[in-house]
Amino acid sequence: MRKTKERGSSQVSSVNTTCEFDDEEEPPGKPRRHPIWRDVPDKKWNDWRWQSQNAIRSVRQLRELLPFTPDELEAIGQLEGEYKLAIPPYYFSLINPEDENDPIRLQSVTSPLEALHSESSMEDPLDEEKDSPVPGVTHRYRDRALLVTTHVCTMYCRFCTRKRATMVRGGWDAVSRDDERMIEYVRDHKEIRDVIVSGGDPLTLPLPKLRFFLENLAAIDHVDVIRIGTPRPDNLADEALRQRVDRSARIGGKGVDPNAFQPPAGNYARSCAGPANCS
């Protein structure tokens, strides 16, 4: 049932799908679930594939789930072609729909404020390109390097510093010549001992391609630590995810610590809603 309320001088349309929040419970003892997904079987809800396939990906979907003014809807609609939107149902369910400043909403839901940033300021805000000797590698500090292995994420943070790459489509499943060059660069630079496998989200990669990166990095004698930069344990409700992380650690076999990945928990994720959540 749709209703309206006032926000300043504009009317706001909203949907009566209120989630209950208990501030006394930290972390929540039972995962929250938005009413629209109340009938989804637990087996599907806890499957990362179902979560990814049923992610919110359009303003048309958002307008049925959260309150917006007409001006806000028009503004965020114009941003759809500029930057991808994807919010898994689990993560969306953590949002308090009555709080415009809910940190997870600010992290994941398109905002009209994004249109205020000029294209030039958002193209490469961390100046990674100037420290990129080969495509996909950022080598800013002597003993460490970051590898951008994919542009795909299960949830696209609105503050992402690599927005420039997210609209690229295709080519993520097979090992490319650029992927090989990234490994060759690390192998040729013996000062590198710490490698961050990043993206996008490297845990979205097919296992054969993830295996390519981790096995080849683990085989390099001077690489001591391999880190996987992923927001996925916070974004998805999935018991199998832990197994995937464990498997990644076994593939790498060198300093890949699966215990560094925290399990999904509403208030934990809420406290981590910020740039440090993505690598």
pLDDT tens string 205-246: 888 888 899 989 999 999 999 988 877 666 565 555 555 555
Total domain count for the chain? 2
Residue 246, domain CATH:
3.20.20.70
Whole-angstrom Cα distance, residue 37 to residue 34? 6
Last residue of a domain, one of 119, 152, 186: 119
Domain boundary among 71, 99, 119: 119
Listed in sequence order, the residues at least 6 apart from 177 whose beta carbon sits closer than 8 Å to its beta carbon are: none
pLDDT score recorded for residue 275: 37
Q: Which of 94, 119, 144 is the last residue of a domain?
A: 119
E strands, the chain, are 2-7, 10-15, 137-141, 144-148, 194-198, 225-228
Same domain, yes or no: 140 and 244: yes
Residue 56 CA to residue 180 CA, distance in Å, equals: 34
* Helix H or strand E segment including 106: helix 103-108
Whether 22 and 152 share a structural domain: no
For 36-40, 61-65, 154-158, 169-173, which range has the lowest pLDDT when averaged over its residues? 169-173
Joined tokens for residue 126: 């961390």
136 shares a domain with 71? no
Q: What is the β-pairing status of strands 144-148 and 137-141?
A: antiparallel
Confidence of residue 36 (pLDDT cuts 50, 70, 90): very high
Residues 142 and 248 in one domain: yes
- Is 203 in the same domain as 148? yes
Q: Each residue of 85-97: pLDDT tens digit?
A: 999 999 999 999 8
Residue 144: domain span: 121-277
Q: Do residues 40 and 155 share a domain?
A: no
Same domain, 151 and 203: yes
Please check whether residues 68 and 152 belong to one and the same domain: no
Q: Are residues 65 and 143 in the same domain?
A: no
Q: Are residues 174 and 266 in the same domain?
A: yes
SS3 content of the chain, % helix, strand, coil (to 5): 40, 10, 50
Q: Are residues 8 and 59 in the same domain?
A: yes
CA-to-CA dists, residue 118 to 106, 107, 156, 158, 173, angstroms: 19, 19, 19, 15, 32
Do 179 and 273 lie in a common domain? yes
pLDDT at 258: 44
